[in-house]
């Protein structure tokens, strides 16, 4: 389920990009693909994001909640804010910007939570790369669009998300078999 929760939005983004000859990864935001009145691929893009967000919520609830309620809440926030990005597309202007910021901040919170919960410094370089990508964009307008910092943030988080789910599933299996909690 975790792999599907990552694959669905990424595949929908890729399909939307392939079907949009007007889209430029250096000059656009990914959300431009989801603009309900300007993008013919908006249904593909927004459905993929919302389904991916729902799958992240499902995975966080199913695989993480019984082991760590706090970490599960962080996963829930990532999924929920991803759904909000799809629901409140660019037609909503300021609201879309706010939920997009909330989504990318939730990715940062996820990396920090991973580091704290698993007592690991490994997510810090990933977080630093994502933050630097955003700083370069906002400070120097490089690249012109935010698609690249968006993708960097997502791809910096994915390995830690998949690893966390794997670890929580490993901890959950003995409890489900009646062998006590891990």
Cβ distance 106 to 78 under 8 Å?
yes
The count of structural domains within the chain is 1
Average pLDDT, the chain: 94
In a domain, 178, yes or no: no
Residue 144 has pLDDT above 60, yes or no: yes
Q: Is the pLDDT of residue 78 over 70?
A: yes
Mean pLDDT across the stretch 29-49? 97
Is the preceding omega at residue 151 within 30 degrees of 0, hence cis?
A: no
Ramachandran angles phi, psi of 142, nearest 5°: -125, 120
* Residue 107 domain boundaries: 2-169
pLDDT at res. 182? 44
pLDDT of residue 170: 84
Distance CA 148, CA 26 (A): 7
Structural domain includes residue 95: yes
**Residue 83: inside a domain, yes or no?**
yes
| Domain assignment of residue 180, yes or no | no
| The pLDDT of residue 177 | 61
Residue 161 lies in a domain: yes
């Amino acid at each position: 389920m975790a792999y599907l929760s990552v694959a669905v939005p990424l595949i929908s983004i890729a399909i939307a990009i392939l079907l949009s000859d007007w889209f430029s990864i250096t000059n656009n935001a990914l959300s431009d693909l989801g603009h309900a009145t300007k993008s013919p691929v908006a249904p593909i893009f927004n459905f993929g994001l919302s389904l991916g967000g729902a799958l992240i919520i499902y995975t966080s609830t199913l695989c993480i909640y019984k082991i760590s309620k706090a970490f599960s809440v962080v996963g829930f926030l990532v999924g929920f804010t991803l759904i909000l990005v799809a629901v409140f597309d660019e037609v909503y202007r300021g609201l879309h910007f706010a939920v997009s910021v909330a989504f990318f901040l939730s990715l940062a919170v996820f990396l920090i939570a991973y580091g704290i919960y698993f007592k690991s410094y490994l997510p810090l370089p990933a977080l630093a790369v994502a933050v630097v990508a955003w700083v370069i964009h906002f400070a120097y307008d490089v690249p012109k669009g935010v698609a690249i910092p968006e993708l960097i943030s997502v791809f910096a988080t994915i390995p830690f998300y998949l690893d966390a789910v794997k670890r929580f599933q490993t901890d959950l299996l003995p409890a489900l078999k009646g062998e006590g909690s891990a």
